[in-house]
Amino acid sequence: MNFHPHSVYFKLFLAYGVAFFVLAMGALLIREISTTQPNYEISQAHLETYVRFLAQSIGDPPQESTAIKLVKKTGLHIALWGPNLEWSSPAHFLAQAQAHPTGQVFAIPFGLYWWKDSGEAILTVVQGPYHYSFSEFHADHHLSPWLAGIAALTLVLALMTSFILVRLILRPLKFMCQTAIHWGAHDWKPRVAPAGKDELALLGRTLDQMADQIEKDFQAS
């Protein structure tokens, strides 16, 4: 197999290499975006203020409907409990929040979260008899539509790139087929005259020479 830069094998290899590169770059971009990032650029000193604001937004006594809207909007895990109230989203978060020692915090080097000893960030605000717990301060929940769009765009770009490059490489075959069809009908059309230095171009020029010789022999007979 000839992998000279002018070889059709090299060109096909390059075409699919470009398509693979586009796919790889798309995958890396998706991975980079999907990496857990803070949903809000806030310091550790302001995080408690933030969750207190969320607690006030939910109301006193807590309103489950407001909490559901916050879950959808922020992607946070929220748990509410107190007199005649036990609610969380997701459902398993309630037990985790109730097990978290209220007021006990563990700082991490990045200064963005407070962590409980199990390694999961849970902040609890107490307003009277009610507890408001929050966790999962990430942007992951908002990324799924973007990730799907990027994945689809990457796939389309890879397919289009591959199709266009391969079509350009194999274009001489189309002209050679058309010329052969015209020859079959004794319609002396202009020769293929393909440009380039790859195997297909060489084949096209060889067929041109053969056609010239056949036409001369046919006219001389």
Q: How far is CA 171 from the centre of its chain?
A: 32
Q: In whole angstroms, what is the distance from residue 131 CA to residue 220 CA? A: 103
DSSP for 75-97, written as a single string: --EEEEEETTEEEEESTTHHHHH
- Residue pLDDT tens, the chain, 221 long: 555 666 666 777 777 777 778 777 777 776 666 554 444 444 555 677 777 888 888 988 898 899 999 888 887 889 998 999 999 888 888 888 887 655 544 443 333 334 444 445 678 888 888 888 888 665 444 445 666 777 778 778 877 877 777 777 777 666 666 666 665 555 556 666 666 676 777 777 787 777 778 777 777 76
User: Residues 6 or more apart from 149 whose CB is under 8 A from it?
Assistant: none
Q: What is the pLDDT of residues 94-138, one digit of tens each?
A: 888 887 655 544 443 333 334 444 445 678 888 888 888 888 665
Q: In whole angstroms, what is the distance from residue 139 CA to residue 33 CA? A: 10
Using a cut of 0.95, tell me whether the model's pTM lies above it.
Answer: no
Half-sphere exposure of 159 (CA within 13 A, CB side): 6
Q: What is the pLDDT of residues 166-185, one digit of tens each?
A: 777 777 666 666 666 665 55
Domain-wise residue ranges, the chain: 44-138
Beta strand segments in 18-92, E: 77-82, 85-89
Instruction: For the chain, give the mean pLDDT.
Output: 71
Residue 19: both structure tokens together: 């398509």
